[in-house]
Amino acid sequence: MIAPNASRLSPLALAIALAPLGAVAQNVTPDADPQQHNRTLISEELVVVGQPLDSLMNSDDIERKQANDLDDIFSGVSSVLVGGSVGAAQKIYVRNLGEDTLNIMVDGATQSGVTYHHTGRISVEPELLKQVRVQVGAGDATNGPGALGGAIRFETKDPEDLLGSDNFGALLKTGYFSNTEGTKNSATVYGRFNDTLSAMASYVDADQDNMEDAKGNELPGTNSDQGLGFVKLVGDLGAGHRLSLSHERLTEEGEKLTRPEWGQGPNNPLRELEFERETSTLKYQWDAPGNEALLVDANVYATEFNIYRPWDNYTSTVDTQGFTLGNTSKLAGHSVEYGVDYRDDEVTAGEADDANPFTETSEVLGLFVQDRYQATDRLLLSFGTRYDEFEAVDKEGNEFIEEGFSPNLGFSFEATRRLTVSGGYAEALRGVETNDGFKLFGTTNDPDLKAERAKNLEFGADYELGRFMFSAGVHDVTIEDAIGNAVPWSRHYENLGDLESEGYTLGLTYSGQRLFSKWTFLDTTAEIDGEQVTRYSYGYLGTSTGDTLSIDTSYQITDGLDAGWIATLVEGMDDIYVVAADATVDKPGYGVHDFYLHWEPRVSENLSMTLTVKNAFNKQYLDHGSIEDFTHVPDYDGIVGYPAPGRDIRLSLALRF
């Protein structure tokens, strides 16, 4: 077994670690059914070209982790890194490419724009998630505009997901977190009023004190008081028509550091900070009975994300409205999805009572078509394109207009009964968009800003041997003319050069009747014109991480009791040169292990309990998605991220009526 505090690894070490499992594989009957394991776990594998490394997790996965923030949601997913200890300051990176390169959606509502560069741009409540899907890399034309580094889709639960055969019900949950001496309580009611109409309403309240690191040091500014209200109404109207309307309001407040993503220091005092996100979505689907040419999927949405600083009465708000109208037609082996999407963003910032705040706007109109063609029994082809037109007006009145096509082409070929190979090429375009609200008072744009274009090349292979699945893949992504701030500390946006992410993955999955184990190794680098990307310098654009081994293992002890182990082992990085500071920094490696037990007693099928131990071996570390440690550099002594929280024992109880 890998030591609890293991911090360095290599492909050779990975091969040695997996060798015993490979030997076992030779003794497995080829006809063994890998589907017998009855738990649906995180899926992260090559699926079709143009959609390379694709991750899917459902509500059961999230519940067993007792997820409390973004980092918890994506634990065990090697392609996704969430940086930062403070939930409000967490940023998402997919293969080292940041939120500026991703298209992130909640129930189809795109969460775009930046309110404050020292915080994250997305806040979700794990309690209400039905599933999360991660599309890694530029790919499918249906990913939406500007998906240079990929797309993340959060989908909330429907009443039908909770009702089963009942017409009405309620779910009460309570949880305790030892590290923060915090609690999370939720109440959800749901009902089916007739054959047509169902509804649900939920409220979640979470109250957390300051975290402690593994050395027992309190981390001021990491406390949180969060509340979420959620309602959804669903109508099955007959003849394949389905309509849903949902509204979600998430609030958080607390005494945060002025720059929440940095550690505490003389230039980073504690001050009150308030967050609020509201999202409303209307969705319509029509699966026409007996007509494979009509599968309509449409949504209209509005979302608003606001940050308010009471101490200087400064506020920043991102308002987004948009829609998607699509249809899927199936004919002669083809499944063609086509449609139109539109999004309008407005960022305003300034004093809360200012009648004339700083304002920037952007909009994008796109047309898309994606064909998945089963050419033969063994060959699946995927090809399509997007056409997007971007328009933006900055606070100085400069207008930016860009348009163009984003093609993709890929294949998946079953070379033998056991071996499948796949690969593809895809492009994605993103024009100039709105800037960071907390920088608007001093921000300028290069009037000659050009659109960014991603070019993504992927190849992979899966080999199935009984209950074992071996996988390997390579990726090479180049984002030409990446847009960002000139370094150091500039508020001037310009084309910085080419942002590149390249590397490979290795994977091994075992699916038995009771045991499931997935090991994934990721080696990826991110550079801008030869300089390794750091979170400090490039923030939302990207970061750099060491080679990472992710392990997700579970064992079903009895029909009602299962145990799990999730581990993340990251290799250290030394002497990273940072142009902005004219200095080098190190990123020490770390190994983090989480364990859980989930119990559904037979005596009461309406009761469930989960015990989770996060960072079980109490490892002190700074994750590679956090602000790097610059404390050894003159004039940078206050620049370092907070260490990760120490051991956290979590217990939750759920009771269904």
Q: Is the pLDDT of residue 606 over 90?
A: no
pLDDT band at 45 (very low <50, low <70, confident <90, very high): very low
Element (H, E) at 23: helix 11-25
State the first-to-last Cα distance of the chain, in angstroms, to the nearest integer.
Answer: 43
pLDDT score, position 66: 78
Give pLDDT tens digits for 73-132. Answer: 888 888 898 888 777 778 899 999 988 899 999 888 888 877 777 777 777 888 888 989
pLDDT score, position 55: 61
The answer to whether the CB of 85 falls within 8 A of the CB of 641 is yes
Q: Is the pLDDT of residue 36 over 70?
A: no
Q: Give dist(CA 428, CA 652) in Å, integer.
A: 42
Q: Is the pLDDT of residue 5 over 60?
A: no
Q: Is the pLDDT of residue 28 over 70?
A: no
Q: What is the mean pLDDT of the chain?
A: 87
pLDDT band at 371 (very low <50, low <70, confident <90, very high): very high
Mean pLDDT over 164-186 rounds to 92
Q: Is the pLDDT of residue 217 over 50?
A: yes
At residue 489, what is the residue type? W
Nearest to residue 391, comparing CAs of 28, 145, 574?
145
Q: Is the pLDDT of residue 331 over 50?
A: yes
Q: Give dist(CA 526, CA 532) in Å, integer.
A: 6
The answer to whether the CB of 399 falls within 8 A of the CB of 393 is yes
The answer to whether the CB of 564 falls within 8 A of the CB of 524 is no
Q: Give dist(CA 261, CA 119) in Å, integer.
A: 6
DSSP E strands in 288-313: the ranges are: 295-309
Mean pLDDT over 405-434 rounds to 95
Q: Give dist(CA 591, CA 571) in Å, integer.
A: 9
Q: What is the DSSP letter of 559?
A: T
At residue 167, what is the residue type? N
DSSP E strands in 49-87: the ranges are: 51-58, 80-83
Q: Is the pLDDT of residue 38 over 90?
A: no
Instruction: Mean pLDDT check: name the lowest of 70-74, 397-401, 586-590.
Output: 70-74
- Burial (Cβ within 10 Å: 0-12, 13-18, ≥19) of residue 43: middle
Cα angle 37-38-42, degrees, rounded to a multiple of 5: 85
Element (H, E) at 161: helix 159-163
pLDDT score, position 97: 93
pLDDT score, position 268: 87
Cα angle 458-497-54, degrees, rounded to a multiple of 5: 25
In the block, tokens 């406390």 appear at: 223
pLDDT band at 488 (very low <50, low <70, confident <90, very high): low
The answer to whether the CB of 39 falls within 8 A of the CB of 61 is no
Instruction: Mean pLDDT check: name the lowest of 39-53, 285-299, 462-476.
Output: 39-53
Give pLDDT tens digits for 8-17. Answer: 333 333 332 3
The answer to whether the CB of 506 falls within 8 A of the CB of 475 is no
In the block, tokens 């402690």 appear at: 212
Mean pLDDT over 631-657 rounds to 92
Q: Is the pLDDT of residue 641 over 60?
A: yes
Q: Is the pLDDT of residue 541 over 60?
A: yes
Q: Is the pLDDT of residue 532 over 60?
A: yes
Helices (H), 484-634: 535-538
Please state the pTM of the whole predicted model.
0.87
pLDDT score, position 127: 82
Q: Give dist(CA 294, CA 85) in Å, integer.
A: 46
Q: Give dist(CA 275, CA 88) in Å, integer.
A: 8
Mean pLDDT over 22-32 rounds to 34
Q: 3-state SS of 311-327?
A: CCCEEEEEEEEEEEEEE
Element (H, E) at 17: helix 11-25
Other C-beta atoms within 10 Å of 558: how many?
Answer: 10
Q: Is the pLDDT of residue 3 over 50?
A: no
What percent of the chain clears pLDDT 70, i.e. is strictly above it? 91
pLDDT score, position 33: 38
Q: What is the DSSP letter of 265?
A: B
